[in-house]
C-alpha cells in the first residue's frame, strides 16, 4: 500500500523521495543531538542518508513499513520523518519519529504521531501499537503518555548499524472496549460476562459464589442438575446485595420436561434458591436420549408451561440450552413467545456457525458455555502469539473474541485470579483481521456432548 498524504493542523505528512536526501542530512540525520536518541548513528555524509532513503523508497508498496516526511506548513520545509512499522516479534505496529532539534518542544511530535496512529487505526484497522524510546529521551515518554500509551518497562534494544545495545522504555497502546450489556428481545438487559457455577460448590460450598459476587459478577448461571441451587440460595441470602441487582439463571433437566413437570421443577428451583422469581429459566437439553421419540411433544408442552410462567411474572425471560435449529423449529412452529436465549457450547474452533446464524435470524441471543474450550487451546502456538500481541493471556483473548462476536459468555472457575481475569476482558479490542482468523480456525476441541446423541438418564 502506498503511503497517503496526511494533513494535520501544522504539518503535512507525505512520502519521502530520493530528492529529500540533502535536506534530511542537513536538517536532522547528521545531528548527533538527534541521533543519540535514535536507533541509528549520526550520518557522516549525505551518501549515508541516500542509502537510508533507498530502503524507504523501496518499501513504498510494503504492507509492513509506512514512512513519511514531515513538512511544516508554515515554511514548506521538511523538518523530520517517521512511520509505523510491523514488528513480527511483537505482532503489532510500532510508531517512530525524529525531528530537527530546532523543532523540539513545540508539540509537533505529538501531532505527527497522532496522525500516524489514526492511519494505523482507520486504514490498517489495528487496535494495538508499540512505542519505544531511549531511556534518556523523557520528551518522547511524554508524547507516548499524551497519546494514551501505557509504560510497560525497560528492555535492551540494538542499534541498526552494528547491533550495539541500548536501553529503551517500552510502551503499549490498546484500544479499549466497553462492558456493554446484552439486550434480550423483550428488552431485558443482561451482563456481558456471567459466572458459571457447575461444580463450583463441591469443595468450598458457597465461598466461591460469595467471592464471585464480591468481585463484581452479577449474573449467576446454575441448574437443577448442578445440585447447588440450595447453596447458591444461601449465598444470595448472605451476600448483602439486593436480589434485583443479581441476574439469576437456572435450568430444568430433561427428566423434568413436560407441562406439569416443568412448573413443578420451576417451583423446586425457586424454593432452593430462596427467591420468588427467576430472571432466566431454561430448558437444559432438548431431549433425554436418542431413543426418546416423543421429544418434540415434550418440548411443546414444556414451552407452553414456560410461556405461562413468563406471563405470570415468575420469570423475566425464558430460553433454551443446546438447542440446534431443528430443535428450535419445534418451538417456533408452535410458540407465542420466541426463546430469548440459546446457551450453547461455543468457543474458538467450535462456533456452530449454522446454529448461530439461525439464532440471530430469530433474534435469539447466543450464550457460550465452555467459552474457553476447557483451555484445550492454551498451548496452541498461533493463539499464544496472538495473545502476546495484545498483552493478554490466551484465556482473555478467547473470551474477548466471543464478546466481540455478540455472544454472552459464562466462564467458570473457583480460583480468584482466574475469576478476575475472566471479567477483565474490556481493556483491549481484537482487530478485524484477527477476528476473521479466530472465526475460521478449524475444529480443535469439542466436548462431544452433542444434543441428539447423549444419554441423559
pLDDT in tens, 20-57: 999 999 999 999 999 999 988 999 999 999 999 999 99
**pLDDT given at position 90:** 87
**pLDDT given at position 390:** 96
**pLDDT given at position 209:** 98
**pLDDT given at position 235:** 98
Helix ranges, 156-244 (H): 207-215, 229-238
**pLDDT given at position 59:** 86
Q: How confident is the model at residue 455 (pLDDT cuts 50, 70, 90)?
A: confident
- 14 has pLDDT over 80: yes
Q: Where in the chain is the domain with CATH 3.20.20.100?
A: 182-439
**pLDDT given at position 384:** 93
The residues that bridge with 151 in the sheet, in sequence order, are: 171
> How far is CA 86 from each of CA 74, 89, 93, rounded to the nearest angstrom?
32, 9, 4
User: How far apart (Å, rounded) are the C-alpha atoms in residues 228 and 272?
Assistant: 9
CB atoms within 10 A of CB 259: 16
- DSSP label of 436: H
Dihedral through CA 264, CA 266, CA 271, CA 272, nearest 10?
110
Q: What is the mean pLDDT of residues 173-192?
A: 97
The residues that bridge with 168 in the sheet, in sequence order, are: 134, 155
**pLDDT given at position 247:** 98
Q: Which residue has the cell 516526511?
A: 69
User: How far apart (Å, rounded) are the C-alpha atoms in residues 320 and 235?
Assistant: 25
**pLDDT given at position 448:** 83
> C-alpha cell of 65?
513499513
- 1 has pLDDT over 80: no
Q: How confident is the model at residue 198 (pLDDT cuts 50, 70, 90)?
A: very high
3-state helix, strand, coil in the chain (%, to 5): 40, 25, 40
**pLDDT given at position 210:** 98
The residues that bridge with 283 in the sheet, in sequence order, are: 252, 320
Longest CA–CA span in the chain (Å) reads: 91
> Annotated catalytic, 217?
no
Residues in the chain: 457
Q: How confident is the model at residue 100 (pLDDT cuts 50, 70, 90)?
A: very high
User: How far apart (Å, rounded) are the C-alpha atoms in residues 348 and 399?
Assistant: 9
> C-alpha cell of 384?
499464544
**pLDDT given at position 32:** 93
**pLDDT given at position 444:** 78
Q: Express as a percent the part of the chain with pLDDT over 90.
A: 90
Mind listing the pLDDT tens digit for each residue in 58-97? 888 899 999 999 999 999 999 999 999 999 888 999 999 9
Residue 366 CA to chain centroid, in angstroms?
17
Catalytic residue among 97, 226, 281, 350: 226
> C-alpha cell of 365?
441471543
Q: How confident is the model at residue 2 (pLDDT cuts 50, 70, 90)?
A: confident
**pLDDT given at position 374:** 82
Nearest residue to 216 (alpha-carbon basis) of 196, 241, 235: 241
User: How far apart (Å, rounded) are the C-alpha atoms in residues 428 and 173?
Assistant: 9
Mind listing the pLDDT tens digit for each residue in 282-339? 999 999 999 999 999 999 999 999 999 999 999 999 999 999 999 999 999 999 999 9
- DSSP label of 243: G
Decide if 144 contacts 129 (C-beta within 8 A): no
**pLDDT given at position 454:** 83
- 128 has pLDDT over 80: yes
> C-alpha cell of 124?
490498517
Helical (H) or strand (E) element with 365 = strand 365-369
- State the sign of the Cα–Cα–Cα–Cα dihedral 253, 259, 263, 264: negative
User: How far apart (Å, rounded) are the C-alpha atoms in residues 390 and 127?
Assistant: 9
User: How far apart (Å, rounded) are the C-alpha atoms in residues 197 and 209?
Assistant: 8
- 377 has pLDDT over 80: no
**pLDDT given at position 363:** 98
Give domain 182-439's CATH architecture.
Alpha-Beta Barrel (3.20)
- 110 has pLDDT over 90: yes
- 456 has pLDDT over 90: no
**pLDDT given at position 309:** 98
- 442 has pLDDT over 90: no
Question: 287-310 burial, b if ≥16 CB within 10 A, otherwise e?
Answer: bbeeeeeebbebbebbbbbbeebb
Give domain 6-174's CATH architecture.
3-Layer(aba) Sandwich (3.40)
Decide if 377 contacts 444 (C-beta within 8 A): yes
Q: Where in the chain is the domain with CATH 3.40.630.30?
A: 6-174
Mind listing the pLDDT tens digit for each residue in 254-286? 999 999 999 999 999 999 999 999 999 999 999
CB atoms within 10 A of CB 51: 11
Average confidence score pLDDT of the chain: 95
> C-alpha cell of 374?
476447557
Decide if 401 contacts 426 (C-beta within 8 A): no
> C-alpha cell of 173?
497502546
Helical (H) or strand (E) element with 58 = helix 46-58
SS3 456: coil
Residue 72 Ramachandran class (φ > 0 left, ψ -120 to 50 alpha, else beta) = beta
Amino acid at each position: 500500500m502506498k503511503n497517503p498524504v496526511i494533513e494535520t493542523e501544522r504539518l503535512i505528512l507525505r512520502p519521502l523521495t530520493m530528492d529529500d536526501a540533502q535536506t534530511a542530512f542537513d536538517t536532522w540525520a547528521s545531528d548527533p543531538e538527534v541521533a543519540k536518541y535514535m536507533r541509528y548513528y549520526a550520518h557522516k555524509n549525505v551518501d549515508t542518508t541516500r542509502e537510508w532513503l533507498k530502503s524507504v523508497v523501496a518499501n513504498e508498496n510494503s504492507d509492513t513499513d509506512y514512512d513519511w516526511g514531515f513538512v511544516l506548513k508554515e515554511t514548506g520545509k521538511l523538518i523530520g520523518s517517521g512511520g509505523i512499522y510491523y514488528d513480527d516479534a511483537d505482532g503489532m505496529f510500532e510508531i517512530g519519529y525524529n525531528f530537527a532539534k530546532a523543532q523540539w518542544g513545540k508539540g509537533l511530535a505529538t501531532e505527527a504521531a497522532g496522525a500516524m496512529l489514526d492511519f494505523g487505526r482507520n486504514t490498517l484497522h489495528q487496535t494495538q501499537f508499540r512505542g519505544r524510546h531511549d531511556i534518556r529521551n523523557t520528551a518522547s515518554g511524554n508524547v507516548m503518555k499524551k497519546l494514551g500509551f501505557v509504560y510497560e518497562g525497560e528492555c535492551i534494544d540494538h542499534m541498526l548499524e552494528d547491533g550495539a545495545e541500548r536501553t529503551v522504555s517500552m510502551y503499549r497502546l490498546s484500544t479499549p472496549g466497553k462492558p456493554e450489556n446484552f439486550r434480550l428481545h423483550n428488552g431485558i438487559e443482561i451482563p456481558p460476562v456471567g459466572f458459571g457455577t457447575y461444580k463450583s460448590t463441591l469443595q468450598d460450598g458457597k465461598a466461591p459464589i460469595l467471592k464471585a459476587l464480591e468481585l463484581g459478577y452479577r449474573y449467576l448461571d446454575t441448574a437443577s442438575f448442578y445440585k447447588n441451587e440450595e447453596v447458591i440460595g444461601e449465598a444470595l441470602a448472605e451476600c448483602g446485595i439486593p436480589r434485583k441487582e443479581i441476574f439469576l439463571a437456572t435450568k430444568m433437566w430433561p427428566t423434568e420436561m413436560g407441562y406439569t413437570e416443568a412448573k413443578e421443577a420451576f417451583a423446586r428451583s425457586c424454593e432452593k434458591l430462596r427467591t420468588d422469581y427467576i430472571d432466566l429459566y431454561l430448558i437444559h437439553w432438548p431431549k433425554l436420549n436418542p431413543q426418546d421419540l416423543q421429544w418434540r411433544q415434550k418440548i411443546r408442552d414444556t414451552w407452553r408451561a414456560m410461556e405461562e410462567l413468563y406471563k405470570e411474572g415468575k420469570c423475566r425471560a425464558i430460553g433454551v440450552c443446546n438447542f440446534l435449529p431443528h430443535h428450535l423449529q419445534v418451538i417456533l412452529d408452535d410458540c407465542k413467545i420466541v426463546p430469548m436465549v440459546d446457551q450453547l457450547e461455543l468457543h474458538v474452533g467450535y462456533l456452530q456457525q449454522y446454529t448461530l446464524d439461525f439464532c440471530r435470524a430469530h433474534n435469539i441471543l447466543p450464550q457460550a458455555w465452555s467459552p474457553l474450550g476447557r483451555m484445550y487451546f492454551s498451548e496452541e502456538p498461533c493463539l499464544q502469539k496472538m495473545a502476546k500481541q495484545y498483552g493478554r493471556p490466551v484465556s482473555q483473548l478467547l473470551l474477548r473474541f466471543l464478546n466481540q462476536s455478540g455472544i454472552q459468555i459464562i466462564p467458570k472457575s473457583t480460583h480468584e485470579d482466574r475469576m478476575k481475569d475472566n471479567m477483565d476482558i474490556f481493556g483491549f479490542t481484537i482487530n478485524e483481521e484477527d477476528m476473521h482468523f479466530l472465526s475460521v480456525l478449524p475444529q480443535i476441541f469439542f466436548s462431544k456432548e452433542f444434543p441428539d446423541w447423549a444419554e441423559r438418564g
